[in-house]
């Protein structure tokens, strides 16, 4: 009984990690709306943000169902405070220039795609179904972000410098994706979600290949930030939530 209960708690956590990461990244990407360097990028960014928000609805919807306290995806997205968010630190990094936005997307997509592939084999059919749907979208995200990283890394001297600096800046936030804690271990043992470090070989292979084609140098720095998955965030997330949740918080009795 207590094992089953713990597993539900872990499952809720695991689903929030997925749904909060797509929510926060979708929000960041949507901040570009109307301000991208070319019209085609405005359209592509909106596509990516839309996919991520759609995935958030599915992951957080299921999280609310698993929790069983009557919270839906909107309640989880708009009525939790910063310490309850379980997203990766990488996705809450501010947009920076367009190069940082693209590099953040690529480093995430390179993890997201194999992660979803593994989740398709989840012992929980609800998770497998969401992963299959999201996987088709994310395959496109990865194709686009990898292609742009290559083209800009191997573009002009300025685009190369900007992409290298984006990579150096974001690299210390990539380790968290592959770092396991007790929640991850419980879910992996139960066959519900893959062990985070099982994604590492595919992530490394993809990243190495793309960065080398982009003529970018993989940072040799080993230090990695962590804490997002457990609810310890950077200062940036609070500001994002202040914007995102404002209407729901200011008018708690309203329906929209």
Partner 1 sequence: MYAQMVKSEASNDDPALLAAFQARIDAGEKIEPKEWMPEGYRKTLIRQIGQHAHSEIVGQLPEGNWITRAPTLERKAILLAKVQDEAGHGLYLYCAAETLGVSRDELTEALLSGKMKYSSIFNYPTLTWADMGAVGWLVDGAAIMNQVPLQRTSFGPYARAMVRICKEESFHQRQGYDIMMKMARGTPEQKAMAQDALNRFWYPSLMMFGPSDKDSVHSAQSMAWKIKMNTNDELRQKFVDQTVPQAEYLGLTIPDPAVKWNEEKGGYDFSEPDWTEFFEVIKGNGPCNAERIEARQKAWEDGAWFRDGLMAHAAKQRTAQVAAE
Which residues here bind partner 1, judged by CB under 8 A?
A: 23, 27, 30-31, 33-43, 46-47, 49-50, 53-54, 56-57, 73-74, 77-78, 97-99, 150-152, 154-156, 158-160, 162, 243-244, 246-248, 251, 253-256
Smallest gap, in angstroms, from Cβ of residue 151 to partner 1?
4
Smallest gap, in angstroms, from Cβ of residue 254 to partner 1?
5
Q: Which residues contact 70 (CB under 8 A, 6 or more apart)?
A: 64
Nearer to partner 1, 205 or 247 (CB): 247
Nearer to partner 1, 155 or 219 (CB): 155
DSSP 35: -
Nearer to partner 1, 99 or 135 (CB): 99
Nearer to partner 1, 182 or 209 (CB): 209
Nearer to partner 1, 83 or 251 (CB): 251
Report the candidate in 103, 89, 83, 96 with the shortest Cα–Cα distance to residue 210: 103
Nearer to partner 1, 54 or 175 (CB): 54
Nearer to partner 1, 220 or 253 (CB): 253
Q: How far apart are CA 32 and CA 28, in angstroms?
A: 8
Evaluate whether 56 touches 134 at the Cβ level (below 8 Å): no
Smallest gap, in angstroms, from Cβ of residue 230 to partner 1?
24
Smallest gap, in angstroms, from Cβ of residue 77 to partner 1?
6
Smallest gap, in angstroms, from Cβ of residue 114 to partner 1?
26
Q: How far apart are CA 42 and CA 36, in angstroms?
A: 5
Smallest gap, in angstroms, from Cβ of residue 239 to partner 1?
11
Evaluate whether 25 touches 52 at the Cβ level (below 8 Å): yes
Paired tokens of 235: 């200062």
CB-side neighbour CA atoms (13 Å) of 51: 19
Smallest gap, in angstroms, from Cβ of residue 106 to partner 1?
15
């Amino acid at each position: 009984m207590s094992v089953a209960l713990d597993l539900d708690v872990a499952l809720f956590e695991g689903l929030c990690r997925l749904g909060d990461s797509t929510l926060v990244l979708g929000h960041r990407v949507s901040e570009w709306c109307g301000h991208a360097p070319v019209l085609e990028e405005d359209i592509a960014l909106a596509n990516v943000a839309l996919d991520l928000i759609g995935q958030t609805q599915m992951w957080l919807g299921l999280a609310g169902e698993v929790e069983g306290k009557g919270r839906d995806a909107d309640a989880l997205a708009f009525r939790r405070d910063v310490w309850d968010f379980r997203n990766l630190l990488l996705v809450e990094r501010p947009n920076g220039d367009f190069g940082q936005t693209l590099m953040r997307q690529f480093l995430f997509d390179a993890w997201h795609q194999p992660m979803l592939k593994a989740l398709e084999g989840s012992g929980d059919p609800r998770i497998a179904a969401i992963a299959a749907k999201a996987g088709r979208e994310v395959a496109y995200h990865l194709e686009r972000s990898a292609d742009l990283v290559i083209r800009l890394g191997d573009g002009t001297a300025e685009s190369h410098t900007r992409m290298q600096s984006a990579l150096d800046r974001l690299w210390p936030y990539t380790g968290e994706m592959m770092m396991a804690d007790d929640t991850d271990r419980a879910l992996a043992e139960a066959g519900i979600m893959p062990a985070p470090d099982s994604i590492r070989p595919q992530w490394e292979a993809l990243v190495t290949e793309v960065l080398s084609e982009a003529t970018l140098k993989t940072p040799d720095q080993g230090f990695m930030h962590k804490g997002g998955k457990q609810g310890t965030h950077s200062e940036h997330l609070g500001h994002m939530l202040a914007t995102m949740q404002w209407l729901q918080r200011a008018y708690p009795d309203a329906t929209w």
